[in-house]
């Protein structure tokens, strides 16, 4: 008997997490022109913060002194969570806040290479940073359990029962994704957002207008990485496990694909990209065919076909919607309205007037 709760909560939660990640990437790339291909690194920081906080936190509260990364310890955490739901909820909230701060801090650090390197180089350097982090955590087991990882990160809504906790968590993730969307939209329509676009389109020009572009980039990388780290916390609490092997560069590429498929520079487009990829991921699974009543026994493994399909979809969307499913729109500002009213298509004037409306 099919049980679609798992399908729907999985789609909703993963969509939410990917949407948050993709929005953060879009802020950095679509608005500020910084292709942060080390996204998975900042994301993993959030997950590790959550895992380490929960592991050490519950151990401190229960006086447990053994190895934190065994199944027994994981089970003990889950049992502790069932008995003390309030504590876990506060761990969850604490992890969100802490991860946001730590992620933002790392984002500021990442702005150093971002200031000096051209786009493609920056991309590779950030991929390299992410891989260095992953390999280190993987091999250095005392930090976060190495490749087995930290198991037994309890659901923050454990008091609602397993199914209730799933639904509640999906709803929470969707709400956070909505919040991120609103935040990102506001940020992009704010003076900072327009400044970011000006940096993206012509760094020199914005420099000439007296903008401190390095500081702007540092700010946006801090915001983007903080958001990514928050998504990492959600990931840890949804999967109930944090393991180094999950944070491979492919995760970043998936997020990048979402942004580009949806439409870089357009937050709504990014949401469309995220839901497209998440649904695609779920409906190409053999389990989904089983739900539909097909027995998918082919001459070759259907999972290979699944990856081929995903690859083809990426190529096709890029080819037929090069601007993404929802392309970028001009930012609506009073200045733009005036310019339009005067029927004078003058993009340079847009930027100029947009800058002038910025409070000192």
Partner 1 sequence: MVDLAGPLLDSLLLGSLYTIMALGLTITYKVTKIPNFAHAEFVTVGSYAGIVAVNVWGRGLAEALLLAVAASAGTALLADELVFKPLFRRAATSLHLLVASIGVGLVVRYVLSILASAAGILSAKSDLLATTLVSVGPGANLTTLHLWIPAATASAVVALHVLFTRTRIGKGMRAMASNFDLARVSGIPTARVRRITWILAGGLAGVAGTFWSVYAPTDPEVGWRALLWTFAASILGGFVSVSGTIAGGYIVGASESFGITILNSEFGISASYKPMIALVIIVAVFLIRPTGFAGLTVRDVLDGLRKFPGRTVARVKSLFASRG
Partner 2 sequence: MAGAAETAGTGGAASRMKILLAVLVAIIIVLAGALAYVATLPRGPTGGPVTYLIGVEIAITNQYATDGPLRRDGAYLAIDQMNAQLLAAGSPIQFQRIHEDSGGSPTGATNSFNALLSAGVKIVVGPLSSGEVNAVMPLANANQVVAISPSSTAPSLAVDDYMFRVAPNDAFQARALAKLLQDQAITKVGVIARDDDYGRGLANLLKSTYEAAPYSGQVTLVMYDPTATTHTTEVGLLSTAINGFGADAQTAVLIIAFEPDGVDILNLARQDTPLSSVRWFGSETLRRTAFFPPTAAPEIGQFVVQRNLTGFFPSAVRNPVVVKFEADYNAAFSRAPSPYAYYSYDAAMLLMLSVLRAGTYDGPAVRAMLPVVGQTYIGASGHKIFDQYGDYAAADYRVWHATFDGTNYAFTEVGTWFYATGNLVWD
| Residue 117 binding partner 1, by CB under 8 A | yes
Least distance in angstroms from the C-beta of 234 to partner 2: 12
Closest by Cα among 205, 203, 184 to 115 = 203
> DSSP 3-state helix, strand, coil percentages of the chain (rounded to 5)?
75, 0, 25
- Which listed residue (301, 338, 340, 342) binds partner 1 by CB under 8 A? 301
CB 224 within 8 A of CB 46: no
How far, in Å, CA of 134 to CA of 147, rounded? 10
Using CA atoms, how far residue 344 sits from 194, 206, 347, in Å, is: 20, 22, 9
Q: Helix 39-62 crosses helix 119-139 at what angle (to 10 degrees)? A: 30
Residues that bind partner 2 (CB under 8 A): 1-8, 10, 14, 67, 69-72, 74-75, 78, 135, 139, 146-149, 151-152, 162, 235, 239-241, 243, 245-246, 248, 268, 272, 275, 279, 282, 285-288, 290-293, 295, 297, 301-304, 306-307, 326, 329-330, 336-337, 340-341, 343
Count of residues in contact with partner 1, rule CB under 8 A:
51
Q: Which is nearer to partner 2, 120 or 301 (CB)?
A: 301
- In the window 238-297, what residues touch partner 1 (CB under 8 A)? 249, 253, 256-257, 260, 264
How far, in Å, CA of 281 to CA of 278, rounded? 5
240 binds, among partner 2, partner 1, none (CB under 5 to 8 A by kind): partner 2
Q: Which is nearer to partner 2, 44 or 219 (CB)?
A: 44
| Residue 27 binding partner 1, by CB under 8 A | no
272 binds, among partner 1, partner 2, none (CB under 5 to 8 A by kind): partner 2
| Residue 118 binding partner 1, by CB under 8 A | yes
> In Å, how far from its chain's centre is CA 57?
25
Q: Which is nearer to partner 2, 291 or 352 (CB)?
A: 291
How far, in Å, CA of 25 to CA of 220, rounded? 10
- Which listed residue (11, 20, 32, 127) binds partner 1 by CB under 8 A? 127
Residue 329 CB contacts under 8 Å (≥ 6 apart), including other chains: 266
How far, in Å, CA of 28 to CA of 75, rounded? 39
DSSP-derived letter for residue 27 is I
Q: Is 242 helix (H, G, I), strand (E, B) or coil?
A: strand
Using CA atoms, how far residue 332 sits from 186, 196, 324, in Å, is: 11, 15, 20
344 binds, among partner 2, partner 1, none (CB under 5 to 8 A by kind): none
Least distance in angstroms from the C-beta of 185 to partner 2: 14
8 binds, among partner 1, partner 2, none (CB under 5 to 8 A by kind): partner 2
For 360, other C-beta atoms within 10 Å of its C-beta total 2
- Which listed residue (322, 330, 334, 347) binds partner 1 by CB under 8 A? 322
Closest by Cα among 51, 57, 88 to 168 = 88
| Residue 63 binding partner 1, by CB under 8 A | no
> In Å, how far from its chain's centre is CA 163?
25
Residues that bind partner 1 (CB under 8 A): 29, 35, 112-113, 115-121, 123-125, 127-129, 131-132, 135-136, 138-139, 207, 210, 212, 214-215, 218, 249, 253, 256-257, 260, 264, 299-301, 304-305, 307-308, 310-315, 318-319, 322
């Amino acid at each position: 008997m099919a049980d679609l709760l798992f399908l729907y909560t999985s789609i909703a939660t993963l969509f939410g997490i990917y949407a948050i990640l993709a929005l953060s990437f879009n802020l950095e790339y679509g608005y500020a022109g910084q292709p942060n291909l080390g996204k998975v690194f900042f994301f993993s920081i959030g997950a590790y913060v959550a895992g380490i906080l929960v592991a050490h936190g519950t151990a401190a509260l229960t006086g447990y002194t053994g190895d934190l990364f065994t199944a027994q310890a994981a089970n003990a955490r889950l049992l502790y969570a069932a008995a003390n739901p309030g504590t876990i909820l506060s761990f969850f909230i604490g992890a969100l806040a802490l991860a946001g701060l730590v992620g933002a801090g790392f984002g500021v650090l990442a702005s150093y290479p971002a200031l000096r390197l051209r786009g493609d180089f920056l991309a590779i350097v950030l991929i390299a940073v992410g891989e260095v982090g992953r390999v280190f955590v993987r091999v250095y087991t005392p930090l976060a359990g190495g490749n087995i990882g930290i198991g037994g990160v309890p659901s923050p809504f454990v008091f609602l029962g397993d199914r209730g906790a799933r639904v509640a968590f999906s709803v929470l993730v969707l709400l956070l994704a909505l919040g991120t969307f609103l935040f990102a939209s506001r940020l992009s329509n704010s003076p900072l957002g327009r400044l970011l676009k000006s940096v993206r389109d012509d760094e020199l020009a914005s420099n000439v207008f007296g903008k401190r572009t390095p500081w702007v980039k540092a700010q946006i990388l801090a915001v983007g990485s903080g958001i990514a780290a928050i998504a990492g916390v959600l990931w840890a609490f949804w999967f109930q496990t944090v393991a180094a092997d999950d944070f491979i560069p492919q995760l970043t590429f998936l997020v990048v694909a979402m942004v580009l498929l949806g439409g870089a520079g357009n937050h709504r487009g990014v949401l469309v990209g995220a839901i497209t990829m998440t649904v695609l991921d779920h409906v190409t699974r053999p389990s989904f065919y089983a739900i539909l009543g097909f027995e998918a026994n082919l001459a070759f493994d259907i999972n290979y076909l699944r990856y081929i399909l995903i690859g083809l979809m990426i190529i096709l969307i890029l080819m037929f919607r090069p601007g993404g499913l929802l392309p970028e729109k001009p930012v609506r500002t009073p200045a733009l309205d005036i310019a339009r009213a005067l029927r004078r298509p003058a993009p340079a004037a847009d930027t100029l007037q947009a800058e002038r409306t910025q409070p000192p």
